Amino acid sequence: MDTTFGTEVRSSHEAASVLEVKPCPITPEEEDDQEDGMYAAKKKKKMFAVLISYSGKGFYGLQHNPPHRTIEGELLKGMVSLGLLSETECNKLQAVNFQRAARTDKGVSAARQVVSVKLPIGDGDESKVLGELNSLMPPQIRLMDIRRAIRSFNSKNWCDCRTYSYLTPTYAFAPMDQIASEEYRISEATLAEVRQLMSEYVGTRNFHNFTIKKKATEANAYRFIQLVEVDDPFVREGVQWVLIRIKGQSFMMHQIRKMIGLVMSICRGLTPTSVLAKSFTHDKIETPKAPGLGLVLEQPHYDSYNKRFGEDGTHKPIDWSGLEDQVSSFRKNFIDRDIIETEIAEKSMLEFLRILHMYSFTDGVGSGIRRADALLTSYLNKPDDLNDEDDAQDQINDGAESLPDGQKKIKKHFIAKSKNCLAEDEEESLW
């Protein structure tokens, strides 16, 4: 008998068994993950939008930056603990298409932030994962929701515009003939002036004077501001505060802080109102930068995405509807509280006002030297509890940066002096 024939011919039952053990086909997306050694989870990874609120106090910014403590670092650590991500994926975030709507720097908070990332969360399990992740987060970080998004969703690229806010004591706008102190209460006339001046930023403007290393002739110096709102003032901890909101398509480095700093200088009578209009021209204007403490990412907006996909029956809109009470409570108890307590303790705004008169709002060499030297003197003479070292260095660099290109030696001189000052101060603090 030919045994070869017997090995080739099988019963229908045996054939079915063979078919049952064949590996299931995988999608190209999963295949890519397997090739990178990333597809460890049993469930297929899908794109999600993580809606998050956080206070930046005590964190070295938002972005994952080992070994520094960051907001994303805490979030990723929690995801690894739950098996949503692997350690390898945390070191190669592009493998899971990780992105944030807007970057926030050291100490800066976000009332509403959106992170996009591919996660192996099954349909209907979002609430369960949300609760588990929040149980692993420090109190200053709160995940508000996790929502399924389209496969190509990118929280930065799909963002139409962003709203930032700035919380400041009202004495920052006090005229020079009035005392800027915690007892100050803003008048209706001064508040109206603040609102009118801030409204001048609305529209498409050339903001080259409100950032660094940007020429007036560069196309991306133009930015579109959609809305500016100045809320009614309120009193907290014996100090009167006011919240300013600015909504725009995009912002440059220091832009919002310089916009507000210039209005403060005008309201205090240190520079004429005409400087505001002149700052949008090609003329070089030296603009003051308000402290970073009060700056908050208020909300990234996804109007185009929501109009196209938010009501398709599969995906939820990327917005904060139904979450406003939670956000408001978190903001009051963490973000606003941290800003107010830190300002009262460290008095960064009073320190800023102390040097505000040193800005001349010109592009002359003498002005640049005077300001850089004044900033150095101010830092050397500051009380121990005032100013953050990084921000002091940042201000000094800005002062040197305002010098004309031909003054490179002067610029290097002041930066070198400032670094020595900061190093000596740090060395003394060790003892």
19: buried, middle or exposed (CB in 10 Å: 19+, 13-18, 0-12)?
A: exposed
Same domain, 323 and 226: yes
Residues 217 and 94 in one domain: no
Looking at the fold, whether 133 and 281 belong to one and the same domain comes out as: no
One domain, residues 139 and 175:
no
Where residue 362 falls among pLDDT bands split at 50, 70, 90? Answer: low
Q: Which of 99, 117, 148 is the last residue of a domain?
A: 148
Domain termination site, one of 99, 123, 148: 148
Domain count across the chain: 3
Active site includes 232? no
375 within some domain: yes
- Known binding site for substrate: residues? 164
**Burial tier of 83 (Cβ tally within 10 Å: 0-12, 13-18, 19+):** exposed
Q: Using one digit for the tens of pLDDT, what is the confidence trace for 380-424?
A: 444 444 444 445 445 445 544 444 444 444 445 444 544 444 433
Per-residue b or e along 52-77, where b marks 16 or more CB atoms closer than 10 Å to that residue's CB = bbbbbbebbbbebeeeeebbbbbbbe
In a domain, 313, yes or no: yes
Residue 89, domain CATH:
3.30.70.580
Does some domain include residue 155? no
Catalytic residue, from 33, 105, 338, 388: name it.
105
**Whether 291 contacts 342, CB under 8 Å:** no
Whole-angstrom distance, CA of residue 131 vs CA of residue 133:
5
Q: What is the pLDDT of residues 294-353, one digit of tens each?
A: 999 999 999 999 999 988 778 889 999 899 999 999 999 999 999 999 999 999 999 999
**Do 217 and 327 fall into the same domain?**
yes
CATH code, domain carrying 194: 3.30.70.660
Q: What is the pLDDT of residue 321?
A: 87
Residue 348 in domain: no
Average pLDDT over the chain, rounded to an integer: 82
pLDDT for the residue numbered 358: 87
Final residue belonging to a domain, choices 293, 313, 343: 343
Q: Is residue 14 part of a domain?
A: no
Q: Which among 12-26, 56-70, 110-124 has the top mean pLDDT? A: 110-124
Domain of 85, in residue numbers: 32-148
Whether residue 198 sits in one domain with residue 116: no
The pLDDT of residue 22 is above 50: no
